[in-house]
Amino acid sequence: MAEIVSTEGVLGGEPRIEGRRIGVLHVATRVLDDETPEEVAAGFDLHLADVYRALAYYYDHPEEMRALRRRKRKAAEKARNRQPDPEAFESRRRA
């Protein structure tokens, strides 16, 4: 069974399952979205204990998880804002 680690340069340093690029937040989000821990383990080819270890970390570090969610939300918003406006693209294409 793997430990929860944070490594700079791997998943942006976010906590993850050792030896994998599977973040604690990703595992927890899937369980919170109504997948069973068994389904998450099967989907990621993990030991069930690794899923529970990730969930324990998630619940033991609520401030860190909230900050990580905020950071991811801001990054997604920034990426959306950089996307070109499809209508403007079509207008230029037709011109």
More confident residue, 72 or 92: 72
**According to the model, what pLDDT value does residue 86 have?**
72
pLDDT digits (tens, 9 = 90+) for 22-42: 999 999 999 999 999 999 999
Residue 85, pLDDT > 80, answer no
Residue 20 neighbours by CB under 8 Å, 6+ apart: 2, 44, 46
**According to the model, what pLDDT value does residue 18 have?**
97
> Element (H or E) spanning 17, and its range?
strand 16-17
Residue 30 neighbours by CB under 8 Å, 6+ apart: 39, 40, 43
Which domains are seen in the chain, by residue range? 4-68 (1.10.10.10)
